[in-house]
């Protein structure tokens, strides 16, 4: 496994070459997107947020999740792909297209940062195991059409910052290329 955190992603050709080669080595859209979702979970966020006052509530344990959330062909569902640290029983989770903050991102087609989800009364818990304290959502497109979004969530509040909205941008572009080059829409099942 490549330890992405040791590279300076702003200046390291090595980082991007390694990441892109790992994507190219994969033979399915989900495994290729998993390279991206693994990288963003390692790179994004303040890794010491859980140690700061108010970062975690009593009984909470620090962990983070990530996924590529794809818009279904019928544009009725958001379908989670390439999930990192999700419960096994929530593999390929499907939620209504307008549900929660992933739904807001679909509606507005704009990135969204919730540094502290406690400050957002409309935050809806998606994982059935715990409520994330900080989250980030970044949409990606092909020829002007939104395909999906990269998401990260962290148990610790104030993990994700404005800086992370900049850092995630190239990963979203890579996700678009991977989805299209692997004919990702063919993997989406017809909704019932």
Separation CA 59–CA 178 (nearest Å): 39
Average pLDDT, integer, range 103-128 = 95
What is the structure's pLDDT at 192? 47
Of 88 and 6, the structure prediction assigns the larger pLDDT to: 88
Q: With beta carbons less than 8 A apart as the criterion, state whether 106 and 146 touch.
A: yes
**pLDDT exceeds cutoff 90 at 3:** no
What is the structure's pLDDT at 9? 54
Tens-digit pLDDT profile for residues 25-37: 999 999 999 999 9
Delineate the domains of the chain, giving CATH numbers in brackets: 34-53+61-187 (3.30.450.40)
Separation CA 160–CA 181 (nearest Å): 30
Average pLDDT, integer, range 46-53 = 97
Beta bridge partners of 70: 79, 148
Q: With beta carbons less than 8 A apart as the criterion, state whether 131 and 117 touch.
A: yes
**pLDDT exceeds cutoff 90 at 10:** no
Q: What DSSP element (H or E) covers 80? A: strand 77-84
Confidence of residue 15 (pLDDT cuts 50, 70, 90): confident
SS3 57: coil
**What pairing do the DSSP bridges indicate for beta strands 64-71 and 145-154?**
antiparallel
């Amino acid at each position: 496994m490549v330890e992405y955190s040791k590279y300076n992603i702003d200046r390291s050709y090595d980082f991007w070459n390694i990441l892109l080669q790992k994507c190219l080595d994969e033979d399915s859209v989900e495994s290729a997107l998993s390279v991206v979702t693994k990288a963003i979970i390692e790179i994004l966020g303040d890794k010491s947020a859980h140690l700061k006052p108010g970062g975690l509530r009593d009984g909470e344990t620090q962990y983070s999740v990530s996924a590529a959330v794809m818009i279904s062909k019928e544009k009725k569902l958001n379908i989670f792909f390439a999930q990192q640290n999700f419960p096994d029983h929530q593999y390929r989770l499907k939620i209504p297209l307008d549900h929660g903050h992933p739904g807001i991102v679909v509606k507005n087609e704009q990135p969204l940062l919730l540094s502290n989800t406690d400050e957002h009364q409309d935050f809806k818990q998606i994982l059935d195991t715990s409520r994330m304290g900080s989250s980030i959502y970044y949409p990606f497109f092909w020829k002007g059409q939104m395909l999906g979004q990269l998401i990260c969530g962290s148990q610790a509040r104030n993990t994700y910052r404005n800086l992370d909205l900049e850092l995630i941008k190239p990963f979203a572009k890579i996700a678009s290329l991977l989805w299209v080059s692997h004919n990702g829409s063919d993997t989406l099942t017809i909704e019932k």
